[in-house]
Amino acid sequence: MFQEIRHKLATTIMGGAIIIGTAQVLSRLLGLLRERLLASTFGAGNTLDVYYAAFKIPDFVFNIIVLGALSSAFVPVFLEYWNKDKKEGFRIANSLLNIIFLALLAVGVIVFFFTDLIIPLVAIGFDEEKKELTAQLVRIMYLGILFFGASNVVSGILHSLRKFIAFSLAPIMYNLGIIFGIVALVPRWGINGLAYGVVAGAFLHLVIQIPSVLRTGFRYRLLFDWSLAGVKKIGKLMLPRALGLGVTQINQIVITTIASTLAVGSVAVFNLANNLQYFPISVFGVSLALSSFPVFSQAFTEKNKEKFVLHFSQTFRRILFLIIPTSIIVLLLRAQIVRLILGAGNFNWEDTILTAQTLGFFSISLFAQSLIPVLARSFYAFQNTRTPVIISIISMVLNIIGSLVFVQFWGVYGLALAFSLASLVNMILLLIMLRVEVGELDDQRIINSTLKIIFLSLLMGLVIQGLKYLIAPQVDMQTFIGVFLQTTGSMLGGLIVYLLLAAVFKFEEVASMVRMLKKAKQQIFR
């Protein structure tokens, strides 16, 4: 029985999504604990401004060099060669790993010696003391990128071969490393201890995956074979994606730069709200996109359009079924969510209100941000990395223009509003262009499901809002327990109504869950 369950988890989109989604939930819960510890230790002020700004430079390098190759090009190309000749597939992986590490090392030398010149580009509004501290953190945290480079190649191999468990545990280890830094190293070394925690997390991200990748037959070799056809193909495919990720990172840097010119703590508020809103995106959108990518790639290899459309439609509708009601919950309970997760220590009521309102503007585009990964990976599966890049450039330009305009009226809230509007445009353009490239995408079924999901989610929202006001007078809203009871009571009441109505409307997702529970019960008690 357990072997059958394990096989299904390892070989189906939904099974992979369950593994990845469960790990994403655990990782994101640890991420929320990490954010709570950061907020309570430092508050939304100068120190967190510096920490989040320092992250942007290593992130920029990592996204351009590593994710550019791995997120779009590695999986389909590795699978193409591995299916023909496993040794050739592993030669490609080894060569890519070493090339990436060498590139990261070379860029790292430049970053180390010229950090002081780079920081003003990221945080023009910081004073000299904050700029010096930011540069110091960048030099430490960049060490983690070297581990991440190797780790993500290993992740790419495991992802391609649908070995989801270790691949999914890696982000959990990363968060544990940062939490260790906050709890154990910050009291001893101050903010530098936090940076060393980031490095420790990156190291653990790699180590946890090594046993699993060795079981696939992979062995590390010191190869730099630029002439391999697979390596050349990855290089060719990664350029547009690297450009697209570069655009995204430039976008983040511009947002950070604008935020650094606003009130103290604006960089921290934007990032804290952004990290909170990314929890449901990663659990629902990213997990389903990651688990569907190998199947999309396989459909392209087989030239099986019907298979692609079937799995795309299922994935698209499942994401909407999960994320639209989540968006309503986040919008209606944003202040309670922020207070429960971040409201401790040095994170005061003013910080709570600023972060909650920013989170509210993010919630507008939660569904769009959750759909972008699966839409983009549909193009990557067809080995078309240009279209998502062009669309991301359009989105970035709109985001920057919107940010510059909206901050004049709404401060840090304007950054979140501009980000949301740009994400909506990004998602719509991706969907239109995919429709042009593929043709019929099971359109009518998707439209019908979407309209029903919106209707049920609005009814759920009315229930949540009513319960919120009914519960508030019955509890002490000045205490954690009171806020917790109001939040969980209204949220659970709304979700029960949503799921019951979904069952009445015979949603495929509810029927699928019921079938899984019945089958599990039969196997356990037979």
> Any idea what DSSP says for residue 283?
I
> Any idea what DSSP says for residue 520?
H
Q: What is the pLDDT of residue 379?
A: 86
Q: Residue 233 carries which side chain, given as an amino acid letter?
A: K
Angle (deg, nearest 10), helices 128-160 and 164-180 = 160
Give the span between the Cα atoms of 413 and 383, in whole angstroms. Answer: 37
pLDDT by residue (tens digit) across 116-140?
A: 888 888 888 888 888 899 999 999 9
Q: What is the pLDDT of residue 520?
A: 44
Nearest to 456 by CA among 507, 491, 516, 492: 507
Q: For every one of its 526 residues, what pLDDT tens digit does the chain have, with 9 covering 90 and above? A: 445 545 555 545 555 556 766 777 788 788 888 988 988 888 877 888 889 888 888 888 887 777 765 655 777 788 777 878 788 778 888 888 898 899 899 999 999 999 888 888 888 888 888 889 999 999 999 999 999 888 988 888 887 777 777 778 888 999 999 999 999 999 999 999 999 999 999 999 999 999 988 888 888 888 777 777 777 887 777 777 677 777 777 888 888 889 888 888 788 889 889 989 988 898 888 878 877 777 787 777 777 777 888 888 888 998 999 999 999 999 999 999 999 988 777 788 888 899 999 999 999 999 999 999 989 888 887 778 788 888 988 999 999 999 999 999 999 999 999 999 999 999 999 999 988 888 888 888 889 989 999 999 999 999 999 999 999 998 888 888 999 999 999 999 999 999 999 988 878 777 766 665 565 445 434 4
pTM for the model:
0.78
Q: What is the pLDDT of residue 335?
A: 92
Give the span between the Cα atoms of 361 and 402, in whole angstroms. Answer: 13
| Contact residues for 169 (Cβ-Cβ < 8 A; gap 6+) | 23, 208, 209
Give the distance from CA 178 to its chain's centroid: 17
Q: What is the pLDDT of residue 526?
A: 47
Quick one: residue 264, left, alpha or beta (phi over 0 = left, psi -120 to 50 = alpha)?
beta
Inter-residue contact 50 to 134 (CB < 8 Å): yes
| Contact residues for 273 (Cβ-Cβ < 8 A; gap 6+) | 338, 355, 356, 358, 359, 362, 416
Nearest to 28 by CA among 326, 296, 259: 326
Question: Coil, helix or strand for 85?
Answer: coil
| Contact residues for 436 (Cβ-Cβ < 8 A; gap 6+) | none
Q: What is the pLDDT of residue 524?
A: 37
Nearest to 345 by CA among 44, 142, 57, 110: 44
Q: What is the pLDDT of residue 394?
A: 92
Q: Which two tokens stand for residue 324?
A: 């639209």
Q: What is the pLDDT of residue 1?
A: 47
